[in-house]
Amino acid sequence: LSTQLLQAQKMESVGRLAGGVAHDFNNMLSVILGYTELAMHRVPPHDPLYEDLREILSAAKRSSEITRQLLAFARKQTSSPKVIDLSDTVENMLKMLRRLIGEDIDLAWNPGPGLWTVNMDPAQISQILANLLVNARDAIGGVGKVTIETGNVSFDQDYCEDHNEFLPGDYVVLAVSDDGCGMDRKTRDRLFEPFFTTKEVGKGTGLGLATVYGIVSQNNGFINVYSEPGQGTTFRIYLPRHGGALSTAHQPGPATAPRGT
């Protein structure tokens, strides 16, 4: 079985399992959250029990954040595709993205010249960028720089024979680079796996890039990753250009297994 098929199957079974568990869990967590809050109202703040309850509350809140992400991941992505200009779409999201990464990180925006249209749900672009930027922020862990770029590229048959991770066609590229810690080979090989995370417990779920992967495959795109320890990371997302050559020839299916280079 090819890596991409395996990846697609893994995503699907994990998605189904996660959805079922997350749903029931979420209900039980609401009960825990509700009763803990009630109990906190009945205990005076100087009572040692109050601190214990606060710990329970904060753990339950963290758990509920994880189940929320699980549910978002498991939900079959129902999208409302629209013909949009990628650069305009990103531009409209910059304010939200700046807030997401905080003031220590300089966010540079380099839209390529031209109008690059894709037929895609803008909410999915926002999901891709939010996940990539949170990872960039965590990889930087302080002061640093993140760059978002757009552009376009065409791959012909000859090129794709040499680079079999791509299918021929016209693509719009969305690239996110950071000057963070970068990744070693072991991490690069596994980063799209659902639940793979190197972050400490409670900080990462390992679902961010699995979600990005799901969205990009759904839109017949590809992901390419360049990362080296100490040299930062660049994610390039290739999305079929609307009205571009061959883009309609693509059959819906899993994206090419993303590779680190």
Give the nearest distance from C-beta 157 to ligand ADP in angstroms. 32
Whether 73 and 15 have beta carbons less than 8 Å apart is answered as: yes
Residue 211 CA: distances (Å) to CA of 130, 131, 157, 241: 11, 8, 29, 21
Span between the terminal Cα atoms of the chain, in Å:
22
Which CB atom, from 29 or from 130, has the smaller least distance to ligand ADP?
A: 130
Distance CA 184, CA 192 (A): 14
Which CB atom, from 87 or from 233, has the smaller least distance to ligand ADP?
A: 233
Which CB atom, from 170 or from 178, has the smaller least distance to ligand ADP?
A: 178
Give the nearest distance from C-beta 56 to ligand ADP in angstroms. 24
Which CB atom, from 149 or from 178, has the smaller least distance to ligand ADP?
A: 178
Token pair belonging to 20: 């079922």
35 phi/psi in degrees, rounded to 5: -70, -35
Q: Which residue, judged by CB position, is nearest to ligand ADP in the bound state?
A: 208
Which CB atom, from 39 or from 66, has the smaller least distance to ligand ADP?
A: 66
Q: Is residue 219 exposed (0-12), middle (13-18) or buried (19+ Cβ within 10 Å)?
A: buried
Residue 83 CA: distances (Å) to CA of 170, 175, 221: 15, 20, 16
Give the nearest distance from C-beta 135 to ligand ADP in angstroms. 3
Residues that bind ligand ADP (CB under 6 A): 131, 135-136, 139, 178, 180-183, 187, 191, 196-199, 204-210, 233
Distance CA 162, CA 6 (A): 23
Give the nearest distance from C-beta 140 to ligand ADP in angstroms. 8
Give the nearest distance from C-beta 246 to ligand ADP in angstroms. 30
Give the nearest distance from C-beta 163 to ligand ADP in angstroms. 23
Give the nearest distance from C-beta 164 to ligand ADP in angstroms. 24
For the chain, the helix, strand and coil percentages under 3-state DSSP, each to the nearest 5? 50, 20, 30
Instruction: Residue 86: name the closest of 108, 109, 113, 115 by CA.
Output: 115
Which CB atom, from 205 or from 247, has the smaller least distance to ligand ADP?
A: 205
Which CB atom, from 85 or from 138, has the smaller least distance to ligand ADP?
A: 138
H or E element: which one contains 131? helix 122-140
Token pair belonging to 83: 């013909």
